Amino acid sequence: MKDTLSIEKYTNTINWISVLTFCYLLIACQPKIELPEYSNLKIADRPNILWLVTEDMGPYLAAFGDSTAHTPNLDRLASEGVVYPNLYSTSGVCAPSRAAIATGMYPSSIGANHMRTTSNMEITGLPSYEAIPPPQTRMLSELLRMNGYYCSNNNKQDYQFKAPLSAWDESNPYAHWRNRGENQPFFSVFNLEVTHESRLFEPYGIHKYDLRHYHSGDTSIAIRGKKMDEEEIPIHVAKDTDFPIPPYLPDNEVVRHDLWKMYNNIAEMDRQLGAILKQLETDGLLESTIIFFYSDHGGPLPRQKRLINDSGLNSPMIIRFPNKQFGGMKDDQLISFVDFSPTLLSLIGMKPPQHLQGQAFLGKYQSSEERKFIHAAADRFDGFTDAIRAVRDKRFKYIRNYRPEQGYYLPVVYRERIPTMQELLRLRDEGKLNEYQAQWFREKKEKEELYDCLNDPHELNNLAADPANAQKIEELRKEMDRWINAIGDYPNLPERELIDKLWKGNDQQPVTDDPEFTVTNGKVIISCSTQGASVAYKIIDSDKKEASSWSIYSDPIVISPGSSIKTVTHRIGFKPSQIVTYSIPENKVI
């Protein structure tokens, strides 16, 4: 058995060295791609912004070096846009990462770092709670709405807190820019869920719900949970394709079948994305819209999702600017998810608020310096807790394990529904994993890890103890300490203490105070005594006809006698107030 494992280890090592060497030569032989000069970017004062967000997907696209899946729409987007190979999520899982995008703040600074804070109470023994950012925090979409944008979300939220009703003009499976006011600029988000980890579960099948993007506004397509019949499943990738298998996974039929599902889902996602782009083009909006494509974190497979390795953090991103500006270029600067909020505000000409923890990489308020480091954290996932922090520059990653006495692998029940995970556990129990595959199942962790991500992209060889890297590891240690102090992170803080901190020692989630109304000079002023609360309202006219969506309050409102205002206030992380209706009698002059 030892000889067999040695041969397998040698063969895998040689194979991956060959692949890396080939990739290096391929890149070296290509003509040099110039970086975009964003100072020359020409966009409207308030451009439309379209976000096409896929889930659980690493850089498995031709534009990033992996041509396994046929993705003509993303290939076109890359040829007409800018490719960003160095985008990193703040966590290897969706909800904390989405919290960073929505707020422009690191999850571990606002209590959003533990995955699923409103569930798993029977395992953790903790109360349900939400992240509570500083009172000045507004969701990105709310800030855009306050600047006249129509904001639609189709349709995943999952921010580690409940979004205020003022966050979106509409957030549902059929939300679309087509529902906006005439000539109103829009920020529209479409979440493409077909690449999600759960789409690897058996029995395999494309969910009918996923297909809603083909049918703008067709409410009959949302059949959540149902899958196509087997003969209906679209097959985009041949099952006998020579799939690239990372060295931390075994090369067998079980793993290859999951890889086939993963790449087939990516190709299906490309078709859905293409349908949305066709709608944009049909509406004559392609050249007035900035298009972002990205994934909510890295890949869906075991030893990818939830981990703080690049396999869990690195997300592909493509941005297409109007009229194909900088088309075909590549920008290799480091970008973090916390940079999205300040960047979008910068693109519409709005100065990012000072409390944001990211920096703009585009627009009027683009940072004068590229970021030198990205940061990430891993804490609780469902019912299992760890405490890990990471910092990475363009080449090296430093990982600090706050629970070195605890093993790497967490037995997350949801993940164990993936056949590859079941296969890994079977081979582990039978002692048949090779050295690289077995690393994840070590019973203890090193306190510190250092990886040369350029020469060791799968982060298999810990260089922390090598004296040759003493200067680099000290640099990254200091940067991690600086970051933790700057954002007010408390790694390994017991979650019960975190809740006490968020709730200021109270034993229940705080509640937003009810709205208050004042009538002055014929206008209704709405206020709330809870600092940082947003105010959403609907007008109900004298015929009792109610507005279809919630408006965001910013200025006093003029309403006619006999009309009413339905109002709710909500600070992020607090429970929303009661819905309060303020009515103006028909015979009253205001």
Number of residues written out for the chain: 590
Confidence of residue 83 (pLDDT cuts 50, 70, 90): very high
> What average pLDDT does the chain have?
93
Q: Specify the DSSP element, H or E, that contains 138.
A: none
Positive or negative: CA dihedral 211, 47, 138, 391:
positive
Q: Do domains 50-389 and 516-583 have the same CATH topology?
A: no
Position of tokens 């993303």? Answer: 74
Instruction: Give pLDDT tens digits for 87-127.
Output: 999 999 999 999 999 999 999 999 999 999 998 888 999 99
540 pLDDT more than 80: yes
Instruction: Give pLDDT tens digits for 50-70.
Output: 999 999 999 999 999 999 999
Instruction: Give pLDDT tens digits for 432-462.
Output: 999 999 999 999 999 999 999 999 999 999 9
Reduce the DSSP state of residue 472 to 3 states and report it: helix
Confidence of residue 35 (pLDDT cuts 50, 70, 90): confident
Q: How far is the C-alpha of 374 from the C-alpha of 50, rounded, in Å?
A: 25
Q: How far is the C-alpha of 82 from the C-alpha of 109, rounded, in Å?
A: 31
338 pLDDT more than 70: yes
Position of tokens 């308020």? Answer: 365
The arithmetic mean of pLDDT across residues 190-200, rounded, is 97
Give me the pLDDT at residue 34, please. 58
Angle among Cα 573, 574, 579 to the nearest 5 degrees reads 130
CATH 3.40.50.10490 fits 516-583, yes or no: no
420 with 202: CB under 8 angstroms?
Answer: no
Min mean pLDDT across 7-21, 156-170, 337-351, 411-425 is at: 7-21
213 with 424: CB under 8 angstroms?
Answer: no
Tokens standing for 389?
């922090």
48: phi then psi, degrees, rounded to nearest 5: -70, 150
Name the residue ranges covered by the structural domains of the chain. 50-389, 516-583
19 pLDDT more than 90: no
Q: Determine which one of 94, 151, 453, 528 is catalytic.
A: 94
The arithmetic mean of pLDDT across residues 224-243, rounded, is 90
The arithmetic mean of pLDDT across residues 336-350, rounded, is 98
- Distances, alpha carbon 573 to alpha carbons 131, 483, 487, 508, 546, in Å: 5, 24, 18, 12, 28
Percent of the chain past pLDDT 90, that is, above it, reads: 86
CATH of 50-389, one of 3.40.50.720, 3.40.720.10, 3.40.50.970, 3.40.1190.20: 3.40.720.10
Q: How far is the C-alpha of 154 from the C-alpha of 387, rounded, in Å?
A: 33
The arithmetic mean of pLDDT across residues 315-330, rounded, is 98
Chain center to CA of 37: 27
Confidence of residue 589 (pLDDT cuts 50, 70, 90): low
Confidence of residue 4 (pLDDT cuts 50, 70, 90): very low
Instruction: Give pLDDT tens digits for 391-425.
Output: 999 999 999 999 999 999 999 999 999 999 999 99
Could you write out the DSSP letters of every residue in 270-307? HHHHHHHHHHHHHTT-GGGEEEEEEESSS-SSTTTTT-
Give me the pLDDT at residue 372, please. 98
Confidence of residue 12 (pLDDT cuts 50, 70, 90): very low
533 pLDDT more than 70: yes
Give me the pLDDT at residue 25, please. 42
Confidence of residue 230 (pLDDT cuts 50, 70, 90): confident
The arithmetic mean of pLDDT across residues 337-341, rounded, is 98
The arithmetic mean of pLDDT across residues 495-503, rounded, is 97
- Which letter does DSSP use for residue 211 in this model? G
Min mean pLDDT across 7-11, 125-129, 191-195, 294-298 is at: 7-11
Give me the pLDDT at residue 588, please. 63
Angle among Cα 481, 486, 491 to the nearest 5 degrees reads 55
Instruction: Give pLDDT tens digits for 380-391.
Output: 999 999 999 999
Percent of the chain past pLDDT 70, that is, above it, reads: 94
Active-site residue flag, 23? no
27 pLDDT more than 70: no
Confidence of residue 26 (pLDDT cuts 50, 70, 90): very low
Give me the pLDDT at residue 218, please. 86
**388 compared with 230, residue with greater pLDDT:** 388
Give me the pLDDT at residue 217, please. 84
Give me the pLDDT at residue 32, please. 44
